[in-house]
Structures are given as structure tokens and as C-alpha cells.
Amino acid sequence: MNTRLTWICHGATAANRKARFPLDEPLEEKAVEEAARVAALPHADRIVTSPALRARQTADALLLEGRIDPSLRDCDHGRWAGRSIQAIESEEPENLMAWMTEPEAAPHGGESLLDLRKRVAGWMEAQSEQGGHVIAVSHAAVIRAAVAHVLQAPPSSFWLTDVEPLAILRMTSNGSRWCLRFQH
């Protein structure tokens, strides 16, 4: 069964601009305007969003009516949520380094990058079984995990993919494997 998956990263937030681990914050006003200017998206059989406010607001700005899917939530940053990366680096440099170099580590008490990747891969496989076209509005970390999964890349590759606010990435599945799809 063929599946097309269109990932859309939520728009920019204050946390993005200030290099903070996110809370459930709203989009910046400018991000709502930018989302409204995104080119028309193709018809989808299913539209799903992360439960986070910023993802739901992005979907609304894109005129997408979707259902909330908890599997598309952002990585759980535990006690680091809302704090700046600079503060974590200053106060807990060894914990930050462990989180960035050991995919199974979760020194913040939240979700490890390995657990994030497993969650995203499981969600993608469920979509592949259903077929059709899916639009998913989610987070940069979720999309990076999806890319690493599709490429069967080592866990360390998570940090080598940059996903900007409002980025759109397409993938396809023939029922046995996923591929990245580049379009003009």
C-alpha cells in the first residue's frame, strides 16, 4: 500500500528565537502571517497535529483541520523545558553533553532521543499500514527523528538535520520501506 507523508514543522516561537527548550507556548505573530503565505498544500486523506499549541496554531494558519495525535508531540525535555540551552550548558554541562552524545540518555528526566525515534518510527509504520496521503504538523525534533529513521542512519545523525520553522518535508512508503521525496 502506498503512503505519502507530508511533514510540516510548526512556526517560530519565542523559545526558538531564544534557544530555549520549549514549553507549550504560542506562535509568534509573524509566524502566523508566514504560515498563511505557505503555498497551497495538496489534498490529504488524513491531517494530524501534535497536541502542542504551536502545532495546532500552525495547522489553523494553514487552514488545515486535523485531529490531535499524541504520538506527534515534541520530545519531552523534562525539567529542562522552558530553560535556555545556555543555562543548561552553564549549570549541567556533563548532562547536556550526555544527552547530545548518548542517544539513550535522558538526564533531564524526560525522553531520550532513542525513545523519540522509536515513537516516531512506530507512528510512521502505522501510517504506512493505512496508506493514502497524510499531512502531519509537528516539531523539528520529531521530523529529525523521522529523517534518521527513513535513512536508517545512526542515532548520532539526529543532530545533523536542521529543520526550520514552517519547513515542509515529504516522504513516501510502498508498504515495505520509506523514502525521502524531493519536489520542485
pLDDT tens by residue, 105-134: 999 999 999 999 999 999 999 999 999 999
Q: Could you tell me what percentage of the chain is helix, strand and coil, using 3-state DSSP and rounding each to the nearest 5?
A: 40, 15, 40
The answer, as to whether pTM is greater than 0.85, is: yes
| 149 conformational bin, left if phi > 0, alpha if psi -120 to 50, beta if neither | alpha
Rama region for 132: left / alpha / beta (φ>0; ψ in -120 to 50; rest): left
Residue ranges of domains in the chain, CATH in brackets: 3-181 (3.40.50.1240)
Nine cell digits for residue 112: 531520550
Q: Which helix (H) or strand (E) holds 178?
A: strand 178-181
C-alpha cell at 27: 506562535
- Partners of 9 in beta bridges: 138
Strands 178-181 vs 168-173: parallel, antiparallel or unpaired: antiparallel
Tens-place pLDDT, residues 9-48: 999 998 888 888 888 999 998 998 898 888 778 899 999 9
The string of DSSP codes covering 68-98 is E-GGGPPP--GGGTTSBHHHHHHH-HHHHHH
Closest CA to 52 of 30, 77, 33: 77
